[in-house]
Structure 1
């Protein structure tokens, strides 16, 4: 990845960080809440990418990547209670994921090597971005 794309992909994490501490769950008019796939859906929507509303459906997008080749902004899929992907997180770099954690009930960072996630990891996917998606904030 060239340096400009790397810098641009860091904008994904900047957007994701705006959600740190947001409660896990489904919101109503008076409160903001999100689940894992709603979190990734909202973050990537800011960059013009429309993702479906479940981890299983989101896992059908992009191309598979090896863990050793992860780049900031890649999606990681986990098996938590189904045979298909039931949890999704965004790779934040430096061995960290950012996600809406059911266990902690909020959006947070976690270590990719944490036993819980290592045991449940299925695969990672890289979504296709144009430079326009990454450099222009969508409303």
Structure 2
């Protein structure tokens, strides 16, 4: 009897672990970002071992089957332009950090915050209102307009 109970309990653990894995593949935008929070910066990086800013964007949006260009400059030309006061979670925000046009990108998460891969601290949150970013803000783009994708990114 003990063996049967242990077998059933073991099967339940395995089954629930499988269910958790399936759920993780359908994570919301917040969960997808939180899962890589603190990942170090790596120039040219596109994996959870290390990201540059546009590689972080690619990694997160690929989880929702949203295909984007590789660089922040090319990403800044995709989708539709959005005024800063009309930002919605999931919009991309672009900055001129090099002095020569768009050179940095993040994902607007709501409440004035965006997630990005900082060259000094890796994946983190910052506020758009911080002096450094507010002075360097260039544009924002809405790259997701598909209802099904939005439901995956922001489940209710």
Normalising by structure 1, we get a TM-score of: 0.81
User: What residue is the counterpart of 2:96 in the other structure?
Assistant: 79
Structure 1 residue 128 displacement after superposition? 2.8
Q: CA RMSD in A?
A: 2.1
Which structure ranks higher in relative contact order (CA pairs < 8 Å, sequence separation ≥ 6)?
Answer: 1
Q: Which stretches of structure 1, 4 residues or more, deviate above 3 A after TM superposition?
A: 134-137
Q: Given the alignment, which residue of 107, 125, 136 partners 2:141? A: 125
Q: 2:28 touches 2:152 (CA, 8 Å); kept in 1?
A: no
Correspondence 1:34 to 2:51:
yes
For 1:44, the equivalent position in structure 2 comes to 61
Three-state SS of the structure 2 residue aligned to 1:88 is strand
Choose 1 or 2 for highest CA Rg.
2
Tell me what 2:28 maps to. 11
What is the distance in 2 between the residues matched to 1:133 and 1:48? 8
Greater helix share, structure number = 2
- 1:43-75 Cα deviation digits (max 9, x unpaired): 111111111211001111011111111100000
* Contact 1:12 1:73 survives alignment (8 Å): yes
Residue in structure 1 matched with residue 130 of structure 2 by the alignment: 114
Q: Number of aligned pairs?
A: 125
Runs of 5+ consecutive residues of structure 1 not aligned to the other structure? 1-9
Q: Secondary structure at the match of 1:24?
A: coil
Q: Are the aligned partners of 1:39 and 1:99 in contact in 2 as well (CA < 8 Å)? A: yes
Worse-matched range after superposition: 67-76 or 81-90: 81-90
Partners of 1:128 and 1:97 in 2: how far apart? 16
- 2:98 aligned counterpart, secondary structure: coil
